[in-house]
Amino acid sequence: MMRVVLIGGHGKVALLLAPLLTARGDEVTAVIRDPAHVDDVAATGATPVVRDLEGGDDLADLLPGHDAVVWSAGAGGGSPERTYAVDRDAAMRTMDAAAAAGVQRYVMVSWIGSTPDHGVDPGSSFHPYAVAKLAADDHLRRTSLEWTILGPGTLTLDPPTGRIALDPEGDGRVSRADVAAVVAASLVEPRTVGRFIRFGSGDVPIADALAG
């Protein structure tokens, strides 16, 4: 049994992830920004906690005693300023807070193209996200945490398959349900520590792909 802090608890992936974790006996504390989402999150079996990380709230009092942190939050587009505030700055603060609290395991849900040569046009509305995520991912790599960075491709609402492909060609389309399953499996697979795992839909069972 793990005690997991799930940041971005009302996101589409997080709402699929929390039931997977609680079903196997994990205790999930889901951090959300909007009090209106408390009931939705509680229905997953997680314990909702309202914090405004974008506004500067921290997790110093929440993290001690937990075993892992999962970052599944995001600004969801909008202004570049908000993207940097959430996807970069708030994410970095949670990493530092986890290290300070002695919570060593940290799983970051990033995206398939989070590399220095991501190729996103500076004039694209997606560019701030690409820059913010790479900065957060690189910050995580520099910590002493037992980190895993997950890079799914284009997210869909398709049903889960339980199978993925690593380093796929193209946009790496993959269902959010399979992303949630990859996060859950990564938390308990030590061979994912210290890896950036790019994946999309495929034919390899998730556990086998992550163990490779």
Residue 57 lies in a domain: yes
Backbone phi and psi for residue 47, each to the nearest 5 degrees, phi listed first: -100, 115
pLDDT tens track for 173-211:
999 999 999 999 999 999 999 999 999 999 999 999 999
Residue 192 lies in a domain: no
Residue 204 lies in a domain: no
Q: Is 208 exposed, middle or buried (0-12, 13-18, 19+ CB in 10 A)?
A: exposed
pLDDT of amino acid 119: 81
The total of structural domains in the chain comes to 1
Residues in the chain, pLDDT under 50: none
Residue 92 lies in a domain: yes
Q: E strand or H helix at 200, and its extent?
A: strand 195-201
Residue 188 lies in a domain: no
The domain containing residue 153 runs over which residues?
Answer: 3-157
Catalytic residue chosen out of the listed positions 71, 84, 129, 147: 129
Known active-site residue 129: yes
Residue 33 lies in a domain: yes
Residue 172 lies in a domain: no
Q: Residue 73: which CATH number?
A: 3.40.50.720
Q: Is the distance from CB of 137 to CB of 176 less than 8 angstroms?
A: no
Q: Are strands 174-175 and 155-156 parallel, antiparallel or unpaired?
A: parallel
Q: Tokens 């398939």, residue?
A: 112
Residue 193 lies in a domain: no
